[in-house]
Structure 1
Amino acid sequence: MNRVKNLEKLQKEQFDICIIGGGASGAGCALDAALRGFKVALIEKEDFAAETSSKSTKLIHGGVRYLEQAFKNLDFGQLRQVKHGLQERHTVIRNAPHLAHPLALITPVFSWFEGFYFTIGLTIYGLFAKNDLLPKAQWLNKKETFEHIPTLTPKLHSSVMYYDGQLDDARYCLALAHSAHKAGAVIINHLAVTNFEKDNNGKLIAAIVKDNLAEKSSTTVKAKIFINCTGPFGDSIRLMANSAQEKRLRPSKGVHIILPSEVLRSQDAILIPKTKDGRIVFVIPFEGEVMVGTTDDEYRNLEKEPILISQEIDFLLDTLRPYMAKVPDKSQIKSGFGGLRPLIASSGLKATKKLVRDHEVEYDEKSNLVSLLGGKWTTYRLMAKDTIDEVCKLLGKDIECSTESHYLVGGENYNFADWRNIQEKYNLEEDICQHLIKKYGTNAEAVLQVIDNQEFKSKIHPNYPFIKAEVIYTIREEMANSLRDFFARRTRMELMDWQATSDSIKIVADIMAKELHWSETQKQENSEAYRKLLKKFILSAKI
């Protein structure tokens, strides 16, 4: 994915489809459309998965809470969402086995009745899943529960274990974009739409875009159809295309905190089935740490990045209190993040936690804009299919979707055990080899082929398996253009440890400066800006 070459193509060529937004839905649409033979461009104003798609709970699931609400409220919309999610779960794992895998979740219960209730519910939940071989829900006694998660409270009666999937959301989104590029799409990040050109009838004929990495005049992207895949920011594009439209989205904020691995001491996760305000919270192992989340509160200030604040930390730690033998101290928090859900507004005044996480493909006949609204990570492929099916109708084409069985970059013929071959060939530490194979799949060795001296085999930070060669590889092959692109999304270091990330800025900035031809002034400015951002996160959380 060479950004310079793709920019040249974008300026010279005309496209069938231009997709705005490089999150899961946009990258999913780009892959689907490219595989159907369309000439596709995808433009993203920041970085792939920079917003919602890198800030999820990292679960591939139908939604246990949605199932409960569906039965309690006779809400068939919730039931449909569960069904779609569980049917897609298998496909998400199959198509990128290096980035997604099954995950056991333990629901602690405090009475025989609770155990019976959740066993029945989670058994029904599993019945909606087709075409996967994940184990069915089972009721564990107290001894069996502690064999899975030894840090739970001794006050529990038993637990119910079921399975869902887990993914590295940012790298999965990147794999979608990379796969779309491989299929012929022109993919570019850090390119913002500032306006549209329209014909005499008000229909879109071109997008005016600004390169956020260069001080250049605007350029135009010409296409027959424009697809709006900007998630919680979708209304801004809709109104830019046709100011007479009403707003459709009601974004909500969810936050997560990151704790050290000893909080869980397990590869299994915990589902806390009910909080004091009726939510559910997950406690999940991720990248060697423990992630706890999420909250669900309405968020209106879309101009500002949603970040973790002290009160939200207190809520999540209080939620853990009845379930853990020892509740983590606030000082143990290593990092955290906030993200936005692109919920479709309800005509009623429902709380955001009660809004259905389903999606809708909207076509505005006046502007000819197609907007993909709502949805969630698990159903990204189905969302993309529905969107490109609609585009096919508009363009008078009849081409079937083929993404269900399409391996993403790094996924085909993946075998985790191949990390041993990398270790033998390159003489690297075990954790580095396992990290490379899990994040790059069958492309893991390509990361090491950029090494021209032994120094690039070394770790960026002693506590984490990321190596210097990854900085070069992600710039050349994955369009990393900033320190945050690398730390937050090519690796997940920002998510895992704010202080370690800050301590590693100089090492990565030195490599990036050489590779991206930054001046000494640019290097210092970029480093200081990112360091200030991390400090802001720490101060906001008051940890």
Structure 2
Amino acid sequence: MRRDLASLQATTFDVIVIGGGISGACIAYDASLRGLSVALIERGDFGAETSAASSKLLHGGIRYLQQARIDKVRESASERAHLQRLAPHLTHWVPFLIPTHPGLRRGRPLLQAGMAAYELLTKTANRRITDPAKRVPAGQYLDRAALAKRAPALVERPDVTGAQVLYESHLHSSERMTLAFIKSAVRHGAAVANYAPATRLLQSGGRLEGVTATDALTGASLDVRGRVLVNAAGPWLADLNDQLTLGALSRPVTGFSRGAHIITRPLLDQFAVALPTARKASTLVDRGGRHIFIIPWRGLSLIGTSDRPHTGGLERIVPDEKDVAGLLADVAAALPSVALTRRDVRHAFAGLYPLTAGDLSPDVYQGSGDFQIIDHGRAGGVEGAVSALGAKYTTARRLGERATDLACAKLGRTGVVSRTTTTPLVGGDIDDLGSFTAEAVARHAPRLDPPAVRHLIRHYGTEADAVVDAATGSPTGLAPLATTRPSLEAEVTFAVDREMAVTLDDVVFRRTGLGTIGHPGDACLRRCATLMADRLGWSADETDRQLRTTAGRFLGGPA
């Protein structure tokens, strides 16, 4: 997958997708699988914004049970199950502890009744997962004594009577899941480009003919022509609709929430935990307000999400010290014994979430789980234009299916059905992940030790061998880039040659996990930049500029 802007101008596409986050990626994949010709352009890098700024969870929908949204429970559980089959190497199950307390509202009987209903509603989805090892493990209830042995920090609060164990699916890298959808679209014929923002609508007689985009790396302009245009630009969708005069959403964006996460020293090794906060949540059954999660992730703790109104611009969304302090205060209130301080924070990231509530309240979580798909031609806007505003990472595949259904209808191609629930993503064609991993460990010994092989499989799945091959001819190609990270030098080469990485940020934050748990060290960043410079022809000045830009993404210096 190389960046080739000429391919975007070589034909008239059936579908043009604007936006390379998880929503746009899923639309491009579904459309290309159905045999449509597809172009996708992204203003920055693929999956670099909201799609990367999540808790990395593929939610099974239990939160919707509190809202009596049975449809959303089933939808979320089904989509979570599909992703276990499409990319089994990118997901794993993490046990969540949901504490119980005295009284009815937050007590054990009501919680376990809810769990029984949830298991009944999601049983069919779980059975569809063909690899038994990827199915949802059975939960259990831990009384106070059992909880004291497994997670003693929780029982230091005298009002905790025990905890229910609920398994959720967690991503080692949400960035690579998004990229897997992009690469899969390309495998099936899509033409894609990062750093190519749409700037102007091409139309004739009231019907669109395509868009003009700008190559952000060179400043060159290019016309991308197509029959149907799908705006899947996430938080930038509404502004882009205005800029291109496409039309409006049925539920307009009324504001944005900035959701932040922090990465800290490990707090709970075996379990994730959902902890109540003072912030309110819109639910029928209130178990203590809006919750934050503490999730074991890559040897550290991932904590979030905060929820603050965002009133600034939409460029470069970064957490500030108020975001960090707020999350630390939430942890201190719920788990004072862990004594988490600012010095324990290794990294932080934030993303924007569009809100559509009519009356926004700064102290109530008002995010929606419902996506929007708008046919602007039928709504008085530009014929051939569609908007697809996603809501949750977990249900993006379903959004892609529905948006492609609409595109097919507009193209007169209604007889072609979606195959995205059964066609594995690039790297994901693995029937038995355990056996596949064991065979790979044996095959690559003694060149790579088992942890290095398992790391490659977690990131690349069946492409792990291709990453190893990228080290051919380099005496250090299979060497780690840092003593504190498992990433190999060959991954940088692979990212540039096969995954359209064109900036140091692309490699450090999205193609590898080098920077997503904190600063990997100056020597590591310098080595990555040198490897990229050799392949991309960067000058010494450009290499230094890339290093300064990437270093500026971290809260502080090397840990």
Whether the TM-score (by the shorter chain) exceeds 0.5 is yes
Shift in alpha-carbon separation, 1:424–1:238, aligned structure 2, 3 A: same
Q: Distance in 1 between matches of 2:154 and 2:198?
A: 49
Answer yes or no: is the 8 Å Cα contact 2:148–2:155 preserved in 1.
no
Shift in alpha-carbon separation, 1:462–1:440, aligned structure 2, 3 A: same
Shift in alpha-carbon separation, 1:492–1:273, aligned structure 2, 3 A: same
Answer yes or no: is the 8 Å Cα contact 1:40–1:184 preserved in 2.
yes
Point out where structure 1 has 5 or more consecutive residues left out of the alignment: 72-77
Paired residue type of 1:171:
R
Pairs within 5 Å for 1:167-206: 167=171, 168-201=173-206, 203-206=207-210
Pairs within 5 Å for 1:336-347: 336-343=348-355, 345-347=356-358
1:92 to 80, 83, 101: 83
Q: Distance in 2 between matches of 1:61 and 1:126?
A: 14
Paired residue type of 2:264:
L
Paired residue type of 1:385:
E
Answer yes or no: is the 8 Å Cα contact 1:484–1:530 preserved in 2.
yes
Normalised to the residue count of structure 2, the TM-score between the two structures is: 0.89
Q: Which residue of 2 aligns with 1:424?
A: 445
Q: Distance in 1 between matches of 2:500 and 2:58?
A: 26
* 1:419 shift after superposition: 4.2
Q: Distance in 1 between matches of 2:413 and 2:76?
A: 28
Q: Distance in 2 between matches of 1:82 and 1:279?
A: 18
Shift in alpha-carbon separation, 1:450–1:374, aligned structure 2, 3 A: closer
Answer yes or no: is the 8 Å Cα contact 1:99–1:439 preserved in 2.
yes
Answer yes or no: is the 8 Å Cα contact 2:28–2:38 preserved in 1.
yes
Answer yes or no: is the 8 Å Cα contact 1:275–1:281 preserved in 2.
no
Q: CA RMSD in A?
A: 2.1
Q: Distance in 2 between matches of 1:379 and 1:359?
A: 9
1:31 to 16, 29, 32: 29
* 1:63 shift after superposition: 4.0
Find out whether 1:403 has 2:407 as its counterpart. Answer: no
* 1:285 shift after superposition: 1.4
Pairs within 5 Å for 1:94-493: 94-111=85-102, 113=104, 114-129=107-122, 130-132=124-126, 133-155=135-157, 156-167=160-171, 168-201=173-206, 203-215=207-219, 217-242=220-245, 245=248, 248-249=252-253, 250-261=255-266, 263-266=267-270, 268-277=271-280, 278-321=289-332, 322-323=334-335, 325-343=337-355, 345-349=356-360, 353-365=365-377, 366-368=381-383, 369-398=385-414, 399-413=416-430, 414=433, 415-426=436-447, 428-451=448-471, 452-493=473-514
Q: Distance in 2 between matches of 1:165 and 1:93?
A: 9
Point out where structure 2 has 5 or more consecutive residues left out of the alignment: 127-134, 281-288
Q: Distance in 2 between matches of 1:502 and 1:342?
A: 36
* 1:21 shift after superposition: 0.3
Q: Which residue of 2 aligns with 1:74?
A: none
Paired residue type of 1:367:
V
Answer yes or no: is the 8 Å Cα contact 2:241–2:247 preserved in 1.
no
Answer yes or no: is the 8 Å Cα contact 2:495–2:507 preserved in 1.
yes
SS in structure 2 opposite 1:160?
strand
Shift in alpha-carbon separation, 1:265–1:327, aligned structure 2, 3 A: same
How many pairs does the alignment contain? 522
Q: Distance in 2 between matches of 1:274 and 1:94?
A: 35
Q: Distance in 2 between matches of 1:149 and 1:251?
A: 36
Normalised to the residue count of structure 1, the TM-score between the two structures is: 0.91
Answer yes or no: is the 8 Å Cα contact 1:126–1:137 preserved in 2.
no
1:515 to 527, 535, 552: 535
Answer yes or no: is the 8 Å Cα contact 1:308–1:338 preserved in 2.
yes
* 1:494 shift after superposition: 1.9
SS in structure 2 opposite 1:271?
strand
SS in structure 1 opposite 2:201?
strand
Shift in alpha-carbon separation, 1:347–1:326, aligned structure 2, 3 A: closer
SS in structure 2 opposite 1:194?
strand
Q: Distance in 2 between matches of 1:52 and 1:164?
A: 20
Paired residue type of 1:93:
Q
Q: Distance in 2 between matches of 1:79 and 1:299?
A: 31
* 1:326 shift after superposition: 2.0
* 1:235 shift after superposition: 0.6
* 1:140 shift after superposition: 1.0
SS in structure 2 opposite 1:409?
coil
